Amino acid sequence: MTIIHRMYKTKTYKTWESMKYRCNDQNNPGYKDYGGRGDRVKKELIDLTGKRFGRLIVKEVAYRLKENGSQYYWKTICDCGNEKTIRGDHLKAGLISSCRCLQKETATKHNLVNTPTWYTWRYMRSRCLNPQSTEYENYGGRGIKICKRWDSFINFFEDMGWKPEDMTIDRINNDGDYTPENCRWATKIEQCNNTRRNVFIRFKNIELTISQWAKKLNINRITLGNRIRRGWTIERALTQEVQSHAN
Ligand SMILES: [Zn+2]
């Protein structure tokens, strides 16, 4: 059985990576024979529809990441019937090859304890729950919680999968809790772009953090954070009524 986190940096991955550099990176020694002659790895949409990645078959494009115009998310259907939306480059690099059912089948507590993924879970719990932790002040101490489901490591593993090499757990909304919806694996660089410790928002002469505004106005913290991230004006973000989505 293939272990997913070991496929990252495999021969196939390296072939794809060096192809990209030969074509797109002017400093690459091979550039003059590839990119220099007009060869391109298409930066725009490379259609993955119908392609199979492990247990996943790609159904259609789900959406495009705003911050990075060439990055797409794809709707996939797993052999087990579950639907899952996954980043194109993660699919292509072989980082993800099932809806998580594969991990679930191979996961037993015994072979997961002391893996990097397990340490991530342990440290996350310590930051949020243990006042003795040096990081507590920036996490549990300022109200960052962990969803009930992640009391169980197996559940955490099911939702997040293996921790990819060179990545750590990142809360998409820095004021949001540790939940499957608000967490992803990200590189340090991606995280720096996202880190906003105690961003203060000034409105009508009151200055509060996103969390404090959310509490004051009875808006979901994550919703409010997302509005600000999307570039809404402060007034609109704080005053527009939250639409309920039909689902
Ligand atoms: Zn599945």
pLDDT digits (tens, 9 = 90+) for 208-223: 878 788 888 888 888 8
Residue 44: per-residue pLDDT? 52
More confident residue, 12 or 174: 174
Q: Answer with the one of 59, 75, 104 that is the final residue of a domain.
A: 104
Has residue 244 been placed in a domain?
no
**Do residues 150 and 213 both lie within one domain?**
no
**Do residues 140 and 67 both lie within one domain?**
no
* Number of domains composing the chain: 4
**Do residues 120 and 190 both lie within one domain?**
yes
Has residue 211 been placed in a domain?
yes
Confidence class for position 50, pLDDT limits 50, 70, 90: very high
Evaluate if residue 2 carries a pLDDT over 50.
no
Has residue 246 been placed in a domain?
no
Q: How many residues does the chain have?
A: 247
Which one, of 218, 164, 235, 228, lies nearest residue 196 by Cα?
228
Has residue 139 been placed in a domain?
yes
Has residue 35 been placed in a domain?
yes
Has residue 229 been placed in a domain?
yes
Residue 121: per-residue pLDDT? 95
User: Which residue range(s) make up the domain with 83?
Assistant: 46-104
CA of 194 to the centre of ligand 1 (A): 30
Has residue 66 been placed in a domain?
yes
Which one, of 216, 183, 210, 182, lies nearest residue 196 by Cα?
210
CA quadruple 12, 107, 85, 83: dihedral, nearest 10: 120
CA of 207 to the centre of ligand 1 (A): 46
Which one, of 45, 95, 38, 98, lies nearest residue 71 by Cα?
45
Has residue 247 been placed in a domain?
no
**Do residues 17 and 64 both lie within one domain?**
no
Asked whether the whole model's pTM tops 0.75, one would answer no
CA of 217 to the centre of ligand 1 (A): 40
The letter for the amino acid at 40 is: R
CA of 84 to the centre of ligand 1 (A): 9
**Do residues 143 and 91 both lie within one domain?**
no
Beta strands, E only, the chain: 52-53, 56-64, 72-78, 83-87, 168-171, 183-186, 200-203, 206-209
